[in-house]
Amino acid sequence: RKEVEQDPGPFNVPEGATVAFNCTYSNSASQSFFWYRQDCRKEPKLLMSVYSSGNEDGRFTAQLNRASQYISLLIRDSKLSDSATYLCVEDNYGQNFVFGPGTRLSVLP
Amino acid sequence: NAGVMQNPRHLVRRRGQEARLRCSPMKGHSHVYWYRQLPEEGLKFMVYLQKENIIDESGMPKERFSAEFPKEGPSILRIQQVVRGDSAAYFCASSLYASGGNRDEQYFGPGTRLTVT
């Protein structure tokens, strides 16, 4: 099974900062990707789907670079409530989801 | 529309006992996935099921673990003769469409935390 790699962090940023995470994948045939967030001891919650070049939802922007096989997540004007672990997910075409180990974000007051 | 439901939320078993974890997918979803998350680790895929069919069990340990998704009722993940290393959070997810296409987002249940003493 192919791997998804993420910087585990932690990323410690002040409120209002802009922060970006990258995630690399290895299966060039994969078509869709996702970002999930997971709070401590809770289930992962879907944050964004990334099917083509990118997606934007409010303060969150995800981009897909197929040539370099990475996706990114940008969070603008970060809030305390954004503190969580962000999971990058590759839909390994026909072979189900492969989760990255997660990047931990702490937004500090 | 109720989300993915799992029960029990917490389960304590002694070594050698059996653990049964249940998952009811979101209404209208026919694709169910089980994942295991060890403490301080990422989620690991275990098995993908549709009604009455196991589609992909490549992540399931070869022994003691089994899963089913009957025509009626919830999906069941069964662990026989549990050992301490089975202690983990077990998450179930469901999707409307099969993996590999658009709109195949998976939605997760709250998980079952299994503790083996």
Chain B residue numbers touching A91 (CB-CB < 8 A): 99-100, 104
Per-residue pLDDT of chain B (117 residues; tens, 9 = 90+): 579 999 999 999 999 999 999 999 999 898 999 999 998 788 999 999 999 999 999 999 999 999 999 999 999 999 999 999 999 999 999 988 766 555 578 999 999 999 999
- Residue-wise pLDDT tens digits, A33-67: 999 999 988 999 999 988 777 889 999 999 999 89
Chain B residue numbers touching A32 (CB-CB < 8 A): 101-102, 104
Is A34 an 8 Å CB contact of chain B?
yes
**Tokens of residue A106, six digits:** 């702490």
Is A8 an 8 Å CB contact of chain B?
no
Dist CA A52 CA A46 (whole Å): 17
CA distance B53 to chain A (A): 15
Residue B79's beta-bridge partner residues? Answer: B19, B65
With contact defined as beta carbons under 8 Å apart, do A71 and A25 qualify?
yes
Q: Concatenated DSSP letters for B19-78?
A: EEEEEEPPTT--EEEEEEE-TTS-EEEEEEEETTEEEE-TTS-SSSEEEE--SSS-EEEE
Is A21 an 8 Å CB contact of chain B?
no
